[in-house]
Chains A and B, each alone.
Chain A
Amino acid sequence: MSDDKADNNPVPEEKAATVNQQAQQSSEPAPPQEEQADNKLTGLMADSPAPAPEAAPAKPTVNLEAEAMGAAEAAVAEGEKALVEAQGELQPQPTAKVAPKTKSNKRRELALRVLLAANVLAMIVVSMMPATGDQPGGNGGAAIVAAPDTLKPIPMSDPVNRAMQSAQNRDFAGAVGILEGYLNDSPLMHVAERLSVLLALSSYAARDQDFDKSRKYAQEVQSLEQSHHLPEDLVNMAEAALASGDQESLRRTWARFLLQQRQIPSWLYQHVAQAYLQLGDSYRSDADQAAEAARLIELKAATVRLRAEALPGGK
């Protein structure tokens, strides 16, 4: 069948010849494979029995197939070579790309470290520098330094301070004179301040051996303490004493409140009953505690007496 085809169709032979030429041209880089193919062909020709005269036209078909196979193998080998070369070219590229990245990261890291170190050094230098008024931070420092000065509202020229200075110098008469002048010059003095000045006057007069004047100022202090309490002030004082647990002050305040209950306004009537109750409770608890303490003392005394009586009897 192949012989007929070869005879009837000479064109495929030409095509095969052209394919063979192309294969030869393309297989120039791999001459050993072509040689092997030729050797195979010659081996096949040698191994084959002596060709008959009718089988002579079959030679070109065998050669063409073998050449086609060889050309295909050569093409495959070429492709493999190209793949190997391409892989060889592609492999260094990623490493080359990664390397610059790592280099750039290292550079950035170094730059950041340098910046951090510079910042720390700058902070240390700024903290060690003395604060000046020209710098923005220096104003805050000046304000902080000036704050303690503003905490001295009372100058030493204050009469009270001058009187204290005189008293430290043992000039009590001078201190009394300063405070008396201060009282006469300021009639609208606050009650609390007047109270302290009168107390100081009484003390300095006593130290100056002027007991009449000391007593006079002590009486003024007492009258001032007892006179300026209005009923509503007494109510507030009683509430404060109750909150602080000062029972004695609570009793005195309510006693004063009850003694002037005829003068209290109507809106404070509700506190009258409260004053009675709290005053009575306070005195009752005090009396109970005192009675309990007295009873314990009596029990201890009785115990001691009984022991003293029992010991001689036991003996």
Chain B
Amino acid sequence: MSNLLVCALSLVLQSPQDPPTFVKKEIASQTSRIAATATCIVP
């Protein structure tokens, strides 16, 4: 998991408000990229 995604997820959990749209798009692209690889299953 990339550092960017970790930061984004941490911000999501810390902030009571929804993240802005560009953050959502970035998280969606990152998660899709990670999910598309088989390495994401191995911790």
Interface residues of A (CB under 8 A from B): 248, 251-252, 255-256, 258-259, 261-262, 264, 269-270, 272-273, 276-277, 279-281, 283-284, 286-287, 290-291, 294
Contacts and interface: CB of A to CB of B under 8 A. Distances in A.
A284 B25 CA distance: 6
Contacts of B21: 286-287, 290-291, 294
Contact of A252 (B1, B13, B35, B42): B13
Given A259-B9, A291-B21, A276 B28 contact: no
Contact of A273 (B25, B28, B35): B35
Contacts of B3: none
Interface string B1-34: 1000110011011000010010011011111101
Q: Tell me the dominant secondary structure on chain A's binding face.
A: helix
Given A258-B1, A284-B28, A287-B25, A272 B41 contact: yes
A227 to B, nearest CB: 13
B24 A255 contact: no
Given A262-B43, A283-B27, A277 B35 contact: yes
B10 A259 contact: yes
Contacts, number: 67
A281 B25 CA distance: 10
Contacts of B6: 259
A259 B13 contact: yes
A278 to B, nearest CB: 9
A279 B28 CA distance: 7
B9 to A, nearest CB: 4
Contacts of B18: 248, 286
Contacts of B10: 259
A255 B28 contact: no
Contacts of A252: 12-13
A259 B10 CA distance: 8
Contacts of B34: 276
Contact of B27 (A259, A270, A280, A290): A280
B43 to A, nearest CB: 5
A277 B12 contact: no
A283 B31 contact: yes
